[in-house]
């Protein structure tokens, strides 16, 4: 990013391994939007770290050229916290599915949000468990007949927007992989945001979710930007967040400015831990001061 | 009520009956949670350390914040000591329950100082007289109210004033200790000084002839520190270059988090309290991948929660150090009691088979070196290393001479740019020793994806489109062998057991981890009192078990006793697994209390008596 | 590329070279994920079952939804079979990769039916001719488009039409199977019938003399069912009175959840998909406390997450049944491959030491009885019981005769009101056998608090105000012994290994769990082909290990080979732990593929050859 | 509850073991309010089940006469789900601390809420880890100097009200143990609510939290009932939920009526599973129908 005139290679983040996603899977949309934005914004693979959990969507890092952690199911965010806090100079992107993030990982989602950890969290929400072949997910709609719900889902789904707002996230948005241009815009703004930026990405599973299809969404989505939404007003954001079914808002629901965790942490606020010397002596800590505490 | 005794007072453990001056002196304060015993115990230990005595301390805590029954043990000696012991020379009873619980531990000619305002002594009279225990009856509550009505903890200081006076040792040191403790808070300091004085005066006025002679201190004052096992591990980690600690509080591992939270900025460590242990260990994995040395600490319940991620660290060859401060289990168990029952659960933690190392420090002193070794092993062999501590080791305190804080740091194979040996970066390059180079984000041309699935040399997953293809059959075998090749290499680096005592003793006691000090003292006692000879083999490096270093000892072992605090005989099983060797006897105390020289001696004596009677 | 072979085609495994009629016939369909192979495989198996053949099926899946390479194996016989085998009589290649991967498995004189629109056969020509494999080239894509442009899966039905025609067996059964499958969906049925016919016609028109004779079916048609291991476990659980299943999806345990979700209301089971495995097992504990029989199922990663709660169940003596369908680990490993590497991790799962039982069904058939036994053990001994299945057992299918679904249910000691024996309710009454009565909410005068802390007979915690008090020393010992007393009682109820073959064979192969069927067939083959004699000892009940029932076998074992699919030799270690006995040899395949008679025979042969050459 | 004239023994639920809480601990307030309300509402110990996690607050069940599960840290709610679903006739009360419920247990909290599990969840929020001797908790305020935060907490705290609303809880309230009468009223309404009823109970830890004391709260709390709050309006509820610091609202923020999970579950909606016969035969399921699926 130092040389502003550097020629941008838009494919810089495109990996050599072909995704094994189904043709038409929504996740392709986020992959291409994200790799493009990363390149456009001048990031480089060696200082970008993409972290995921487990699921179809979580294979995402493998299809890029950046550093990555394909973590355990549901644990992408804590891994991201470890990474970001010891090396705040990395651009850390966290990706995964609805099962991964809203199901098994819900607790970490809440805590990463409230801590305002400076990562971007992109959830490919297909309202289904894809990789395990079509069970209902915590975001599956009431009544959805899936492999495990012969009479239809009877648990109310997670509302990711409301949940993120309730958890105190400082950037809360929703995108749709059927509109990659708009999505790319959101991803860029999320990267630009300092702190926890979260996008619920509606990403149809063409194989197992025959209910929430591209068409289903196309009939319902609209842009918050088109309706004078004030994204600094959390109350308004929460009310918009209740919308689903008839109309589904896309865009930034809420954004606010506050310190990110690495900016307040007593250690990483003024140094990059990974670059610091090791041990007492190299850090110029006198033995006397260490031992004195124990006398 | 039949009094169940799980230890005995053996005369050889101290010399009080032999000379008029005591070499070793054991003090205990008992009361209810909230009485400030740990703080008083800590001050007392620092004071004795300042005088130049060897010091050990042991906390008797409960999962209770107020009330209940808790105690703090402080023991001093003019000769080096390796364990606290149950028998007491001086007991401060702030509650009646203290007498009910600890009277059995009192030696002949010992003193008990009671808070007469709270303790009714009548029902113990008979026994006290019979056992020649002298009572110092202080109206501690009343006296402390005289100084400040709201500070009941001043009672402790009054009792300490009396104790110091009884021992006829200088009071100044304690005043200095208090001064350091209370820093600028003059009012508090003042009240405590008054309390000290009151204790002294009250003793002198009411118990004119009460006096105990302890042999003078032998060390140079203020040269040693008084430190707990957990703090020692924290120092070892910092010395090793720790940059990230993520931990969730749990007894008895919490004090690592507390200590390092308070030093974080100064010691350059990012310290974060995680939302749970699953997060703690996965945060560590994220930070370790990024390139720093990391640690987490917990106890049973939290360690169990780390199971899945532990296997991930083994599979991805990510170096992490985990402190398991064992407490009495299973499940919630008894959080404030020690046990050595996590060895096997950690050897086999997480599904499938993945590499790991386990080290169990045998003393507070050794905890520093073991921690340094743990970090070096983690980096060299790229695997999770568990430091097995326990409630006793973690929470006990001892005086230790100042030591070198600068240690050798070996970060293992790291790739930063193309070399002749490694022109192209491959995270899991199939090398002869099984160890492949690591590379960290920020490094160009080394970008790779860490993955818990089986993988090829480039860290590409074999679980998706390559699962079941013939190329994967081979790769899986090779990767498995590579991971376990490291274990065999590491086994060579593991220290074998240490022999204490004569080589060809009649009896050998084997032990591991924190019980070593107490076993050692029991051995000393047995050697002194018996016509038989005794030695000890103690283990610190447990997994991969260095059985070849144990084999040479076998031929010299006559009758052997394996001593460990668990039900199933875990180290015994591990030794047997590798060597087919089994000890003659096993002692596995289950009562929950920390083994002491006298409890071990009792158990050994009972065992041998049983044998004889058969 | 050197072709690595991990199995061989041994002539004794089938009789194709000896007679003109094949007793056993192995079919495989290979293609990409999304080709609907599992569905076709299932139809085919039901069809052969309908005809009265013995059937086994094995899925070769990947963690891939579309693309990649997957396959489905279906094997039939007119005599009982116990395993699928690698060597093939008929291969349907929907993709070129199918040939690359499976050609090595083809027998002489076998047929390969290729989708000529996708598979270029040229590069395999040489080999096909050399190995006398006949090619049936069908333009499957084109043909299926002729029926319906959008239904590429019709290709499978066309191929099946050809296969059935080739075998000269009645087509009607397949039509019936399709009819049942598609229920009222006439259009779909119609297209499939057309496809069947097209397959028949195309074969007859282009490969006039293609014909294979298989010996006629020997069973009464429609009397058996075709069922997977997971479904069998689900049936066993329902028969045992399961009322609550909480599960989180994971390969290869998911199909238990799927099956029971779809039967929940009918079978009277509350089936809930939990938010994670920590929730799944703790939901089970809550339901079990309340009084019902409960189950959860998972595989490695999920099982590891259950670790803490597993210990809680042991400590609180709460009966739960857990299915661990093992997959290739450690960590994420290879989810669609089998492994037997969780035995030790489950034996020692969770910190501290708590009771548990482990059973490993050796066949789909046995899975039912083992599940029933698991529930009875859980209730009688009040502990968690793990059913160790694996990818192969869980996901394989086999034809099984209908069987009795009504089973003996033993819910153990339950207190409902005061009796002479138990006048006052005490949850953890210290009984002779270590088993205390349970009572459920709703019962008057039995109210108690379940607690993971050490406790007294009334389930009052010893971790708070009573920690460290003398009364607790004794109680802890007693409670520990009580919990482990149950284990010794249970050990008596564990079945010892089963001997297959002659008693005094030259060679004994030992195995456990799902590999039993393949080992058995390998034994049969070795006995047939060799001058040496072979037998097999297979284990189903693993923990507490019934070593006393194994001891009598030892004296008759001459040369022994322990066969298990893991790296460290887990059952071998367990046997050694109890008996000091070790096998002469061990075979522990690591390639990830399900062992088959021919792969095992190859490994044994190689092993013995090596021996001879030394 | 059948005999309406039954004399109520207000101490029916008071256990014989004396709590080992510190004198003055806020938790006493909830204990007495809850045991009283249980008795007044005619519940009996044998059909009441109180489930907790681990913490000072989580020892609550031991001080009552009801059935109880002292579960693992953070896992009280899933245990409650298992219990309630197989025996919906039990009155299931879940209690615990802020660390237990908002920290390690946050994920389960979210999921229990969205499922509308019919239990009452009472969190004794003292904004500190009591039992482990004073570490900061996920609800500790920014700047709070605790054992583990020498410079003061630097992570934004969980907002339990916002979180519960975001998760879709059907009854969201806040009480204060310094006002047990009001608190008892809330507990009663929570028990009367069918579905997931949640009360964030401000319960001062007199030993380790010297910041959020009774006095601190007394200066700040006010009643929603006094300010015309519409508890059927989730937007309003969320906005009120943002209040903290100067003014802290007590009372019911939000309540809505919807089916509870056991009322929709295919099995427990029409029977009490614990009372049903075991096995195929006793349940009158024909073998033929079972086997037919596999042919
Ligand atoms: C601990 C654990 N439990 C279960 C699984 C199995 N599993 C893999 S992916 C997945 C769900 C994926 O759903 P989602 O996160 O929505 O991703 P998608 O495939 O829909 O993109 C599950 C349950 C696992 N890998 N680990
Ligand atoms: C898995 C696990 N991790 C950690 C602990 C230790 N622990 C016991 S209580 C507690 C926190 C209690 O805080 P809170 O829930 O707020 O209850 P309080 O004591 O404040 O009432 C912790 C961390 C544990 N018991 N189990
Ligand atoms: S199964 Fe669904 S989520 Fe997975 S790759 Fe296919 S379309 Fe995408
Ligand atoms: S420490 Fe705090 S929360 Fe725990 S009992 Fe005491 S006052 Fe209550
Ligand atoms: Mg999904
Ligand atoms: Mg709290």
Interface residue of B219, B262, B282 to substitute, partner A, most A CBs within 10 Å: B282
Residues contacting A269, CB < 8 A, separation 6+? A262, A263
- Residue C479 shares a structural domain with residue C510: no
Q: What is the least distance, in Å, from the CA of C478 to any CA of chain D?
A: 22
What's the pLDDT band for C269 if we cut at 50, 70, 90?
A: very high
pLDDT per residue over C185-224, tens digit each?
999 999 999 999 999 999 999 999 999 999 999 999 889 9
pLDDT of the residue at A5:
59
Q: How many domains does chain B have?
A: 4
* Rounded Cα–Cα distance for residues C516 and C539 (Å): 9
Q: How many residue pairs bridge chain A and chain D with CB atoms within 8 Å of each other?
A: 109
Spell out the long-range contacts of D287-292 with Cβ–Cβ below 8 A and sequence spacing 24 or more.
D287/C402, D287/C405, D290/C235, D290/C405, D291/C225, D291/C402
- Do residues C86 and C597 touch, judged by C-beta distance below 8 A? no
Ligand 3 atom at minimum distance from A97 CA = 3
Distance from CA of B368 to the nearest CA of A (A): 13
Residue C169 within any structural domain of the chain: yes
* CA–CA distance, B559 with B17 (Å, rounded to integer): 32
Which of B376, B401, B426 is at the close of a domain?
A: B401
> Of all helices (H) and strands (E), which one includes residue C316?
helix C307-316
CB C596 within 8 A of CB C571: no
CATH number, residue C244:
3.40.50.970
**Cβ of D205 less than 6 Å from ligand 4:** yes
Residue C355 CA to residue C479 CA, distance in Å, equals: 12
> What is the mean pLDDT of the segment spanning C48-55?
96
Cβ neighbours for C436, distance < 8 A, ≥ 6 positions apart: C317, C382, C413, C426, C427, C428, C429, C430, C457, C482
Distance of residue C554 Cα from the nearest chain D Cα, in angstroms = 40
DSSP state for residue B490 in the 8-state scheme: H
Instruction: Please tell me whether residues B454 and B346 are part of one structural domain.
Output: no
- Identify which ligand lies nearest to the alpha carbon of D101: 2
- Whether the predicted interface score ipTM is above 0.85: yes
Identify the residue among A55, A133, A144 best suited for mutation to test binding to C, counting C beta carbons within 10 A and taking the highest. Answer: A133
User: What chain A residue is nearest to C62 in terms of C-alpha separation?
Assistant: A131
Task: Please tell me whether residues C56 and C134 are part of one structural domain.
Answer: yes
CA distance C338 to D151: 52
CA of A29 to the centre of ligand 2 (A): 43
Q: Report if residue C504 sits inside a domain.
A: yes
Which tokens in the block code for residue B151? Answer: 């500070």
Residues C291, B495: Cα–Cα separation, whole Å? 51
* A148:C67 CB<8 A: no
Q: Which of C275, C282, C299, C332 to mutate to test the interface with A (most CBs of A within 10 A)?
A: C275
| Ligand positioned closest to the Cα atom of B329 | 2
- Both C382 and C418 in a single domain? no
Distance from CA of A104 to the nearest CA of C (A): 5
Share of chain B above pLDDT 70, in %: 97
Residue where a domain stops, chosen among C453, C478, C493: C493
**Is the distance from CB of B581 to CB of B562 less than 8 angstroms?**
no
List B residues 384-403 in contact with A (Cβ-Cβ < 8 A): 402
The reply to whether B370 touches chain D by the CB within 8 Å rule is no
Distance, C-alpha B443 to centroid of its chain: 40
Asked if residue D130 has its Cβ within 6 Å of ligand 4, the reply is yes
| Cα–Cα dist B62/B373, whole Å | 33
CB-based contacts of A167, cutoff 8 Å, min separation 6: A109, A110, A113, A114, D158, D162, D163, D166
The answer to whether residues C55 and C191 belong to one domain is: yes
| The residue count for chain A | 295
Phi, psi of C473 (to 5 degrees): -55, -50
> Which ranges of B494-596 would DSSP assign to H, the alpha helix?
516-529, 547-554, 570-579
The CA-atom distances, in angstroms, between A225 and each of A185, A198, B38, D201 are 12, 17, 61, 39
Give the burial string for A21-50 (b: 16+ CB within 10 Å, else e).
bbeebbbbbbbbbbbbbbbeeebbbbbbbb
Burial (CB count within 10 angstroms: exposed 0-12, middle 13-18, buried 19+), residue B511 = buried
In chain C, residues with a C-beta closer than 8 Å to the C-beta of A138 are 275
Q: Which residue positions in chain A have pLDDT lower than 70?
A: 1-6
On whether both B218 and B269 belong to a single domain, the answer is: no
Q: Are residues B489 and B596 in the same domain?
A: no
C311: left (phi over 0), alpha (psi -120 to 50) or beta: alpha
Rounded mean pLDDT, B501-518: 97
Note the pLDDT tens digit of each residue in A11-27.
999 999 999 999 999 99
C11 in a structural domain: no
Query: Token digits for B516?
Result: 């070593």
Residues in chain B: 614
Mean pLDDT over residues B354-377, rounded?
A: 98
Q: Name the residue of D26, D52, D54, D158 whose CB sits within 8 Å of the most ligand 2 atoms, as the mutation to test its pocket.
A: D54
Q: What integer is the mean pLDDT of C126-133?
A: 94
What is the reported pTM? 0.97
Residue nearest to atom 8 of ligand 3 (CA): A25
Q: Residue C583: is its pLDDT beyond 60? A: yes
Closest chain B residue to A68, measured at CA: B449
Among the listed residues D86, D84, D77, D164, the one whose alpha carbon sits nearest the alpha carbon of residue D118: D84
Q: Which of A97, A108, A139, A209 maximizes ligand 1 atoms within 8 Å of its Cβ, making it the mutation to test the pocket?
A: A97
Does D213 contact ligand 4 (Cβ within 6 A)?
no
Q: Per-residue confidence at B184, pLDDT binned at 50, 70, 90?
A: confident
Q: Which chains touch D (3 or more CB pairs under 8 A)?
A: A, B, C
Cα–Cα distance, A90 to A185 (Å, whole number): 21
Q: Is C231 on the interface with D (CB under 8 A)?
A: yes
Query: Do C56 and C179 reside in the same domain of the chain?
Result: yes
CB contact under 8 A, D135 and B275: no
**What beta strand segments (E) does A152-259 contain?**
171-176, 197-202, 221-223, 248-255
B11 domain residue, yes or no: no
Whose C-alpha lies nearest to ligand 1, atom 10?
A55
Query: Do D15 and D62 form a contact (C-beta atoms < 8 A)?
Result: yes
Range of the domain at C313: 226-401
Tens of pLDDT, residues C170-181: 999 999 999 999
Inter-residue contact A127 to A141 (CB < 8 Å): yes
3-state secondary structure of B413: coil
- Are residues C289 and C327 part of one domain? yes
Check pLDDT > 90 for residue C14: no
Closest C-alpha to B377, from B240, B527, B536, B526: B240
- Set of chain C residues whose Cβ sits within 8 Å of the Cβ of A73: 301
Domain limits of chain D?
A: 10-267
For ligand 4, atom 2, the nearest C-alpha belongs to: D205
Q: Could you read off the pLDDT of C491-530 as tens digits, one per residue? A: 999 999 999 999 999 999 999 999 999 999 999 999 998 7
> Which of the listed residues C378, C401, C424 is the one where a domain comes to its end?
C401
D279 conformational bin, left if phi > 0, alpha if psi -120 to 50, beta if neither: left
pLDDT at C422 over 50: yes
B469 and B601 share one domain: no
Confidence of residue B3 (pLDDT cuts 50, 70, 90): low
Answer whether C461 sits within 8 Å of D107, measured CB to CB: no
Mutation choice for ligand 3 from A206, A209, A212, A213, CB with most ligand atoms inside 8 A = A206
Q: How confident is the model at residue C183 (pLDDT cuts 50, 70, 90)?
A: confident
Other Cβ atoms less than 10 A from the Cβ of B513: the count is 27
Sheet holding B559-563, edge to edge: B498-501, B534-539, B507-512, B559-563, B585-587
B504 interface with D at CB cutoff 8 Å = no
Burial level of B369, CB count in 10 A (0-12/13-18/19+)? middle
D93-151 per-position pLDDT tens digit: 999 999 999 999 999 999 999 999 999 999 999 999 999 999 999 999 999 999 999 99
Domain co-membership, C45 together with C123:
yes
Do the chains contact at D46 and C446, CB–CB below 8 Å? yes
**Are D280 and C406 within 8 A, CB to CB?**
yes
Exposure class string for C497-507: b at 16+ Cβ within 10 A, else e: beebbeeebeb
Q: Spell out the residues 6+ positions from residue C184 whose beta carbon is closer than 8 angstroms to its own.
A: none
Average pLDDT over residues C529-544: 94
Predicted pLDDT at B5: 66
- Rounded to the nearest angstrom, the distance between the alpha carbon of B317 and the centre of ligand 3 is 30
* Residue C258 pLDDT greater than 80, yes or no: yes
Ligand 3 centre from B226 Cα, in Å?
60
Confidence at residue C184, expressed as pLDDT on a 0 to 100 scale:
86
Q: Of B22, B153, B29, nearest to B90 (Cα)?
A: B29
In a domain, B187, yes or no: yes
**Which DSSP symbol is given to A226?**
G
> Angle at which helices A180-192 and A27-40 pack, to 10 degrees?
50
Chain A CB within 8 Å of residue B286 CB: yes
Residue D207 CA to ligand 4 centre (angstroms): 6
Work out the number of other CB atoms within 10 angstroms of the CB of residue A200.
Answer: 28
**Residue C9: partners with Cβ closer than 8 Å, 6 or more residues away:** C86, C87, C105, C107, C598
Q: Say which residue the tokens 């309300």 belong to.
A: D37
Q: Residue C22 in contact with residue C14, Cβ under 8 Å?
A: yes
Q: Report CA(A99)–ligand 1 centroid distance (Å).
A: 6
Within chain A, strands assigned E span 48-52, 67-70, 91-97, 120-125, 171-176, 197-202, 221-223, 248-255
Q: Are residues B384 and B257 in the same domain?
A: yes
pLDDT of residue D1: 43
Query: Which H, E and C letters describe B322-382, residue by residue?
Result: EEEEECECCCCEECCCCCCCCHHHHHCCCCCCCCCEEECCCCHHHHHHHHHHHHHHHHHHC
Q: What is the mean pLDDT of chain D?
A: 97
How many Å lie between the centroid of ligand 4 and the Cα of residue D54?
Answer: 13
Q: Check C270 against D273: CB less than 8 A apart.
A: yes
Beta carbons of C240 and D279 less than 8 Å apart: yes
Q: Name the architecture of domain A10-267.
A: 3-Layer(aba) Sandwich (3.40)
- pLDDT tens for each residue of D234-262: 999 999 999 999 999 999 999 999 999 99
Q: Is residue B2 predicted with pLDDT exceeding 50?
A: no
- C502: contact with D, CB 8 A cutoff: no
Q: Which two tokens stand for residue C21?
A: 């009629």
């Amino acid at each position: 990013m130092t040389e502003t005139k550097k020629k941008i290679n838009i494919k810089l983040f495109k990996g050599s391994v072909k995704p094994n996603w189904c043709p038409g899977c929504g996740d392709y949309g986020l992959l291409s939007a994200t790799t493009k934005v990363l390149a456009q914004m001048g990031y480089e693979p060696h200082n970008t770290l993409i972290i995921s959990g487990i699921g179809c969507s979580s294979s995402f890092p493998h299809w890029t050229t950046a550093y990555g952690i394909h973590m355990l199911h549901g644990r992408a965010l804590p891994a991201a916290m470890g990474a970001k806090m010891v090396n705040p100079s990395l651009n850390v992107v966290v990706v995964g599915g609805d099962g991964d993030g809203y199901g098994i990982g819900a607790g970490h989602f809440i805590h990463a949000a409230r801590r305002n950890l400076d990562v971007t969290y992109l959830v490919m929400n297909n309202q289904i468990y894809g990789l395990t072949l079509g069970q209902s997910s915590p975001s599956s709609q009431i009544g959805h007949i899936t492999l495990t719900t012969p009479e239809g889902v009877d648990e109310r789904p997670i509302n990711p927007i409301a949940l993120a707002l309730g958890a105190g996230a400082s950037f809360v948005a929703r995108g749709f992989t059927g509109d990659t241009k708009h999505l790319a815009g959101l991803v860029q703004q999320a990267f630009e945001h300092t702190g926890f930026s979260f996008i619920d990405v509606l990403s149809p599973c063409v194989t197992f979710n025959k209910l929430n299809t591209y068409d289903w969404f196309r009939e319902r989505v609209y842009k918050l930007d088109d309706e004078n939404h004030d994204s600094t007003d959390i109350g308004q954001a929460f009310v918009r967040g209740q919308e689903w079914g008839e109309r589904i808002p896309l865009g930034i629901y809420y954004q606010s400015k506050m310190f990110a965790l690495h900016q307040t942490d007593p250690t990483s606020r003024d140094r990059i831990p990974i670059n610091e010397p090791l041990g007492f002596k190299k850090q110029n800590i006198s033995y006397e001061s260490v031992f004195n505490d124990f006398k | 009520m039949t009094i169940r005794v799980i230890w005995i007072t053996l005369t050889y453990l101290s010399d009080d009956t032999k000379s008029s001056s005591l070499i070793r002196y054991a003090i205990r304060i008992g009361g209810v949670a909230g009485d400030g015993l740990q703080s008083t115990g800590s001050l007392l230990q620092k004071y004795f350390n300042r005088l130049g005595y060897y010091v050990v301390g042991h906390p008797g805590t409960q999962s209770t914040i107020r009330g209940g029954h808790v105690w703090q043990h402080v023991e001093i000696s003019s000769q080096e000591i390796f364990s606290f012991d149950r028998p007491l020379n001086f007991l401060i009873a702030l509650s009646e329950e203290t007498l009910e619980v600890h009277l059995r531990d009192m030696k002949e000619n010992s003193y008990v100082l009671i808070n007469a305002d709270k303790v009714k002594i009548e029902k113990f009279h008979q026994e006290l007289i019979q056992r020649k225990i002298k009572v110092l009856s202080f109206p501690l509550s009343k006296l402390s109210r005289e100084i400040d009505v709201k500070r009941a903890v001043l009672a402790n200081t009054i009792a300490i004033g009396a104790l110091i006076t009884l021992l006829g040792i200088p009071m100044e040191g304690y005043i200095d200790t208090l001064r350091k403790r209370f820093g600028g808070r003059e009012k508090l300091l003042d009240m405590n000084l008054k309390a000290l004085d009151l204790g002294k005066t009250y003793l002198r006025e009411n118990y004119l002839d009460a006096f105990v002679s302890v042999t003078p201190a032998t060390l140079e004052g203020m040269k040693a520190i008084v430190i707990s096992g957990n703090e020692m591990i924290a120092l070892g980690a910092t010395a090793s270059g720790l940059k990230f600690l993520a931990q969730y509080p749990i007894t008895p591992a919490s004090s690592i988090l507390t200590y390092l939270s308070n030093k974080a900025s100064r010691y350059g460590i990012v310290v974060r309290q995680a939302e749970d242990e699953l997060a703690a260990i996965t945060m560590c994995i994220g930070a370790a991948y990024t390139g720093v040395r990391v640690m987490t600490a917990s106890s049973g319940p939290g360690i169990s929660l780390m199971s899945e991620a532990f296997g991930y660290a083994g599979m991805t060859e990510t170096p992490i150090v985990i402190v398991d401060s064992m407490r009495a289990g299973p499940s919630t168990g008894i959080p404030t009691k020690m046990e050595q029952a996590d060895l096997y659960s950690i050897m086999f933690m997480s599904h499938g088979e993945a590499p790991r190392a386990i080290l169990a420090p045998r003393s507070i002193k050794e905890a520093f070196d073991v921690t340094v070794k743990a970090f070096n092993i983690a980096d060299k062999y790229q695997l999770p290393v568990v430091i097995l501590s326990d409630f006793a080791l973690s929470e006990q305190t001892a005086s230790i001479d100042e030591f070198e804080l600068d240690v050798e740091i070996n970060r293992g194979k790291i790739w930063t740019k193309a070399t002749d040996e490694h022109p192209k970066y491959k995270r899991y390059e199939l090398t002869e020793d099984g160890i492949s180079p690591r590379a960290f984000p920020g490094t160009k041309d080394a970008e790779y994806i860490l993955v818990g699935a089986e993988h090829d040399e480039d860290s590409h997953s074999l679980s998706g489109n390559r699962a079941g293809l013939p190329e994967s059959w081979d790769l899986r075998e090779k990767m498995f062998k590579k991971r376990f090749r490291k274990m065999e290499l590491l086994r060579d680096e593991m220290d074998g057991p240490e022999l204490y005592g004569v080589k060809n003793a009649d009896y050998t006691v084997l032990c591991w981890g924190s019980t070593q000090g107490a076993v050692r003292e029991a051995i000393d006692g047995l050697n002194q009192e018996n016509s038989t000879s005794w030695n000890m083999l103690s283990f610190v490096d447990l997994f991969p078990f260095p059985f070849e270093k144990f084999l040479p000892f076998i031929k010299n072992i006559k009758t052997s006793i394996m001593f460990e605090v668990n039900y199933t005989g875990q180290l015994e099983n591990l030794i047997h697994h590798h060597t087919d060797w089994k000890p003659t006897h096993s002692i596995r105390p289950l009562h929950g209390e920390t083994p002491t020289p006298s409890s071990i001696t009792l158990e050994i004596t009972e065992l041998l008596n049983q044998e004889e009677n058969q």
